[in-house]
Structure 1
Amino acid sequence: MSNILPDFIMKNFHLTAGAKLTYADIYSRCWRDGGAFISRKSLAGNTGQSVRTVQRHLNELEMVGLICRRKADGNGESAECKGVLWVELSPLASSKAMSVS
């Protein structure tokens, strides 16, 4: 059975367990190009964390360069995209992940 998380994430002792869990959910939803439309609310529901905790973990993952994110609609004003982010694995993370899987 293969891990959902690549070794370079699992063995990264600078990341909190919650950030790894959040990354695992993002990683499982990413398309082949390394990106996905994701809301903080759905990340929270899938991982059993609060939305605020997910936000802290997204900040942590972005700070160490594992993800990049932006509002899905470009300006945050579209009702159907409210609260949805476009999240991409960083080029380094996605190249390492693809070589592991």
Structure 2
Amino acid sequence: MTRGGKRIAFWAVMTWVILGLGGGCTVASEKVPRMTIQQLKDLMGNPDVVILDVRSKSDWDKAQTKIQGAVREDPSKDTKSWAEKYGRDKTLVLYCA
């Protein structure tokens, strides 16, 4: 993915998080970029990609399946700080399953 593509993906995802996930997991808008399982598998292990699990704490606690290497972030907290925390050069992939 090019640097410009990363920025577009990052801001598209961040906009979705800020506007759509304030209180928990919701259905993604048609405007939010989506990916297949295979596309995600292809990104796993890439140091420029951070996979964020944005399920509610209770859903995350009782989940039997979690993506290996994913980091749990609470979407009800300050999502704007994620850019600083993970770096603007990273591609953030959010999932809520």
Larger % of helix: which? 1
Structure of higher RCO (CA pairs closer than 8 Å, 6+ residues apart): 2
TM-score normalised by the chain length of structure 1: 0.32
TM-score normalised by the chain length of structure 2: 0.33
